[in-house]
Amino acid sequence: MDMDMDMDLFCGTIAIWAATYMYMCLGAYTRLQRRAAPKKILGLLAGVDAVVSQLGGAWRKCVAPRKLFCAADLYLILTNAGNATKSNEGVRAIIASRGRVIDKSMVALLVALVASSSPTSVWFDCAADEKIVAPNITFSNVSSSPDPVVHGAQQVIRKVVHYNGTDTLTNVTATLSQYWKVLGKWVRFLKIDTDVCKEHAGACPFAPGDAHALTTHHPPLHWGTPYGWYRSKQVFTNTLTGERLGCLDERFEYCKDSNSCKKDSSA
């Protein structure tokens, strides 16, 4: 599917959901006005403003075509906001939920639409999968180049690591689990611990509020490496205390050349 067509579909989908949300807000406003409930009207307007701010923040992450997977975030924000407004829960639900974790089936449908474009690397924050309740390390601007990875090419992975803890980190370990997708299943073939501070010069220490850009250069894959989807799950840990800080799940496709990729799902 052509990337320009993808962008048109993407923008059209978001526009429809935005219009639906505003229609629901208008209906809620009219009902509250009839009931002469000024406090609830102010609350509704405050909630609309909160949702618009969330949409703006999510949209700014979608500037590059390779980041179209944030369509799911936009959809979640709009759907959750619309549901809260429609059910007259006021705007507390909109603000508290921050547009997360609802209607996974529809999200999967929207992501499938985006994924129908050229193969692209994908990344997820996997803290919840690892049962890390309050992660002190989060990630942004994760990318893999070239995308897809082709035979004979050096892969460069970039990411920004954000530290939200209260104590300065001087020793950080990343436990890497490497997977290959076989017959629709992820099969782990490697698990190792790496010293983040030694591997990335200048990465440590992590002071509270720090955001460090890390770059990893991988040599070309061995000539016998099978083509397909690969996955790297990285669990970051405080080496001194053993506290698990965060998790990053990166996925990319490896092909003979850019024209031979199967455009298979990375899920």
Task: Report the domain count for the chain.
Answer: 2
pLDDT of residue 131: 94
Lowest mean pLDDT among 66-70, 219-223, 258-262: 66-70
The strand pair at 172-182 and 149-150 is best described as unpaired
Instruction: Answer yes or no: is pLDDT of 43 > 70.
Output: no
The strand pair at 244-255 and 149-150 is best described as parallel
Lowest mean pLDDT among 103-112, 141-150, 212-221: 103-112
pLDDT of residue 156: 93
Percentage of the chain beyond pLDDT 90 is: 43
Write out the two tokens for 102.
Answer: 């609802």
Q: Are residues 203 and 96 in the same domain?
A: no
Q: Are residues 151 and 46 in the same domain?
A: no
pLDDT category of residue 168 using cuts at 50, 70 and 90: very high
Instruction: Answer yes or no: is pLDDT of 73 > 70.
Output: no
Quickly count: other Cβ atoms within 10 Å of residue 254's Cβ: 20
Longest dimension (CA), the chain: 73
pLDDT of residue 149: 92
Mean pLDDT computed over 74-99: 47
Q: How far is CA 24 from CA 54, 216, 233, in A?
A: 17, 47, 40
Q: Are 47 and 91 in contact (CB under 8 A)?
A: yes
Q: Are residues 82 and 174 in the same domain?
A: no
Write out the two tokens for 206.
Answer: 């992590």
Q: Are residues 81 and 197 in the same domain?
A: no
Q: Are residues 172 and 151 in the same domain?
A: yes
Q: Is residue 267 part of a domain?
A: no
Which domain covers residue 70, as residue numbers? 3-115
Give the HSE-up count for residue 94: Cα atoms under 13 Å, Cβ half-sphere: 29
Percentage of the chain beyond pLDDT 70 is: 53
Query: If 0-12 CB within 10 Å is exposed, 13-18 middle and 19+ buried, where does residue 113 land?
Result: middle
What is the per-residue pLDDT across 77-86, written as a single tens digit (0 to 9) for each? 555 555 544 4
Q: Are residues 7 and 73 in the same domain?
A: yes
104-115 and 3-34 helices, crossing angle to 10°: 150
pLDDT category of residue 221 using cuts at 50, 70 and 90: confident
**Domain boundary at 55, 88, 115, which?**
115
pLDDT of residue 110: 45
Q: Are residues 43 and 150 in the same domain?
A: no
Instruction: Answer yes or no: is pLDDT of 171 > 60.
Output: yes
**Domain boundary at 65, 86, 115, which?**
115
pLDDT category of residue 223 using cuts at 50, 70 and 90: confident
> Locate tokens 């440590």: which residue?
204
Going through the chain in order, the beta strands assigned E by DSSP cover: 122-125, 137-145, 149-150, 155-163, 172-182, 185-195, 211-218, 228-238, 244-255
Q: Are residues 196 and 139 in the same domain?
A: yes
Q: Are residues 47 and 166 in the same domain?
A: no
Q: Are residues 97 and 138 in the same domain?
A: no
Q: Are 28 and 86 in contact (CB under 8 A)?
A: yes
What is the per-residue pLDDT across 178-190, written as a single tens digit (0 to 9) for each? 999 998 899 999 9
Query: If 0-12 CB within 10 Å is exposed, 13-18 middle and 19+ buried, where does residue 81 land?
Result: buried
What is the per-residue pLDDT across 13-23, written as a single tens digit (0 to 9) for each? 555 656 665 65
**Domain boundary at 82, 97, 115, which?**
115
